[in-house]
Amino acid sequence: MHTVVVGTSGVTASDVLAVARDGARIELSAEAVAALAAAREIVDALAAKPDPVYGVSTGFGALATRHISQELRAQLQRNIVRSHAAGMGPRVEREVVRALMFLRLKTVCSGHTGVRPEVAQTMADVLNAGITPVVHEYGSLGCSGDLAPLSHCALALMGEGDAEGPDGTVRPAGELLAEHGIQPVELREKEGLALLNGTDGMLGMLVMALADLDTLYKSADITAALSMEALLGTDKVLAPELHAIRPHPGQGASAANMLAVLKDSGLTGHHQDDAPRVQDAYSVRCAPQVAGAGRDTLSHARLVAERELASAVDNPVVLPDGRVESNGNFHGAPVAYVLDFLAIAAADLGSIAERRTDRLLDKNRSHGLPPFLADDAGVDSGLMIAQYTQAALVSEMKRLAVPASADSIPSSAMQEDHVSMGWSAARKLRTAVDNLTRIIAVELYAATRGIELREGLTPAPASQAVIEALRAAGVQGPGPDRFLAPDLAAADAFVRGGHLVAAVETVTGPLQ
């Protein structure tokens, strides 16, 4: 099994994906263990002094003015975890919780938190055992960390609360720890606070969304090209020299992908011979511009994610010179903004895909295709309601594009009076990514049927490879009306699993 070694300098996106989705094992580097021990010595020295230090010998948030005596400090750390584990609503997905815990471990191992090495090792042991704490949908405002979600994880480290075992069964966390020979942690000064105070949940979801969207943007380039073929559009608008004079990198990449898919097509431009059109509609002609802008948004979001993956987010932090200083680095604004930005771009990509689907189904705009791509229009409804489903998904995408980060709600008796709502931005982006996958699947279903209905015209080799792979995956081609939901589900799985991109790349080589 793949092993991820956690050091002091952060982790990579591929590390997060390996742990969250693939169950990779985790090891702590010797460097990280040494840094943990050194920082802990500083915290222990401060804890022994009479002067109050936030997070070490004081209360938290609006209660930070109270100095806590030494005999109550272990109870203080337990209490912050128990009281902050106040989430509600449905359970969060296993991959999100694993990313959340792993990214908190990443910051702990930086040597800036003051957590003991044995606590960090327990975090790694829990992940390696396949134990996943139960975390709920609501409880984070994206500031002072993803507090409730991280608290539910810390609670499991203490042997309290519920967790899902490697067999998928939810049980008391203490039982699961005992079965795997893991000793519950007994938190000391600062450790409870350090386990709760980070942007780890929203960052984990950002990393996974970026991976999914990378595939979806390639998929959208492919379906746009297939729709262009089915509509007998012209690929002249994809010429590299046209995109060179507006040099947005994403636009050029999308146009190049579409051009690669359409190489040697017998359908594109065919309309110029018998039914001249001066220009294709915007949804066809401007596909690279819209998808390209989304790709550039991905690039910006990836830069933010890389910076955050290299960060140590905690409050207070232990500095190399021995100071323990309060700060505002836990604020989720940098991550929240790009999560919202990605949802906006995804909504627009879904919207333009739906417009192409609608054009394929409308006999007045499809340039010779039967109404709704039906076998016997009137007797058959064809893909009429598939487009309804796609339109409903697009409508929800537009609602999900409303930014969460534009909101703020004061908390902790006005001490924490401006929050990022980054967790909420991440949660709605996950829904948007799911919906976008389904939207692209519907366009794929319609475009391939449209191509097959162009009798006597030969599609591009890459398009033919897609059609063959799609049919082999159980998605049926043109014909009389049938129960449509299974076909759409199979098309969704085809896109979601990366099979659409893989089918094209067997002909074109790697897409951009």
pLDDT in tens, the chain (512 residues): 799 999 999 999 999 999 999 999 999 999 999 999 999 999 988 888 887 777 777 776 667 777 777 778 888 889 999 999 999 999 999 999 999 999 999 999 999 999 999 999 999 999 999 999 999 999 999 987 899 999 999 999 999 999 999 999 999 999 999 999 999 999 999 999 899 988 999 999 999 999 999 999 999 999 999 999 999 999 999 999 999 999 999 999 999 999 999 999 999 986 655 565 678 999 999 999 999 999 999 999 999 999 999 999 998 899 989 888 889 889 999 999 999 999 999 999 999 999 999 999 999 999 999 999 999 999 999 999 999 999 999 999 999 999 999 999 988 888 888 899 999 999 999 999 999 999 999 999 999 999 999 999 999 999 999 999 999 999 999 999 999 999 999 999 999 999 999 999 999 999 99
CA gap 85, 179 in Å, rounded: 23
CA gap 493, 488 in Å, rounded: 9
The sign of the CA dihedral 383, 388, 393, 394 is positive
CA gap 249, 374 in Å, rounded: 39
CA gap 58, 66 in Å, rounded: 5
CA gap 230, 235 in Å, rounded: 12
CA gap 226, 267 in Å, rounded: 10
Which SS3 state, helix, strand or coil, does residue 162 take?
A: strand
Angle, helices 147-157 vs 94-108, to 10°: value is 80
| Contact call for residues 136 and 165 (beta carbons, < 8 A) | no
Ranges of beta strands (E only) in 196-321 are 317-318
Which SS3 state, helix, strand or coil, does residue 125 take?
A: helix
Please name the residue that has the structure tokens 């802990």.
40
Backbone angles phi, psi at 136, to 5 degrees: -105, 160
Instruction: Point out the catalytic residue in the list 54, 138, 217, 282.
Output: 54
Q: Would you call 54 a catalytic residue per the annotation?
A: yes
| Contact call for residues 265 and 467 (beta carbons, < 8 A) | no
Angle, helices 485-496 vs 499-508, to 10°: value is 60
Instruction: Give the closest residue to 456 by CA, choosing from 238, 270, 284.
Output: 270
